[in-house]
Amino acid sequence: MIIFLSIVIFLSFRKTYKLNISKKVSKNKRIKKFNKSNLNNWMNLTKKERYKQSKKESVSYLKNRKVLLDEIRKEYKRMKKSDLKGE
């Protein structure tokens, strides 16, 4: 009887653990970028999820702009050095 009870408890914990993992995985599989074609998916997100997604996109946009600005600065330095050497 004790063995049967322990097996049932073990299986129930295991099933619960699998459900929790599947919920975490399904949240991570959300669409990363939103545009006009998947607007309905965006609207189906909760307010909190939309906020988090917008925050992520704004942070990535800011990083891309910083990288681009650094590249522009390096290019101007190279151009300035080549102009000084050419004269």
Domain boundaries, the chain: 2-25+44-86
Q: Which amino acid is at 4?
A: F
Burial 13-35 (b: 16+ CB within 10 A, else e): eeeeeeeeeeeeeeeeeeeeebe
* Nearest Cα to Cα of residue 34 among 55, 57, 58: 57
pTM here is 0.48
Per-run averaged pLDDT (10 residues), the chain, 87 residues: 76 68 54 71 84 89 95 92 77
Task: Report whether 54 contacts 32 (CB < 8 A).
Answer: no
Q: What is the pLDDT of residue 54?
A: 85
Q: What is the pLDDT of residue 74?
A: 94
